Chain A
Amino acid sequence: MILTLSFVLIGLAVLFSLIRLFKGPTVFDRILAADTLAVITTALLVLMSLLFSRVIYMDVALVYVVLGFVGVVVVARYLEGGL
Chain B
Amino acid sequence: MLYLLSFLVLAMLGVGIAIIFVKDILNAVILSTVVSLVASIIFLYIASPDVAITEAAIGAALTTVVFVIAIKHTKSKETSDKE
Contact = CB atoms under 8 A, between A and B. Distances in A.
A32 B45 CA distance: 26
A48 interface: yes
A64 B40 contact: yes
A18 interface: yes
Contact of A75 (B7, B11, B41, B68): B68
User: Which bucket holds chain A's interface residue count?
Assistant: 20 to 34
Contacts of B24: 27
Prevailing SS type, chain B contact patch: helix
Prevailing SS type, chain A contact patch: helix
Contact of B26 (A38, A63, A75): A75
B31 A59 contact: no
A31 interface: yes
Given A21-B34, A67-B56, A75-B26, A83 B68 contact: yes
A11 B53 CA distance: 22
Contacts of B60: 38, 64, 67-68, 70-71
Nearest to A30: B30
Nearest to A40: B37
Nearest to B56: A64
Interface of B: 1, 4, 7, 11, 14-15, 18, 24, 26-27, 29-31, 33-34, 37, 40-41, 44-45, 47, 49, 52-53, 56-57, 60-61, 64-65, 68-69, 71-72
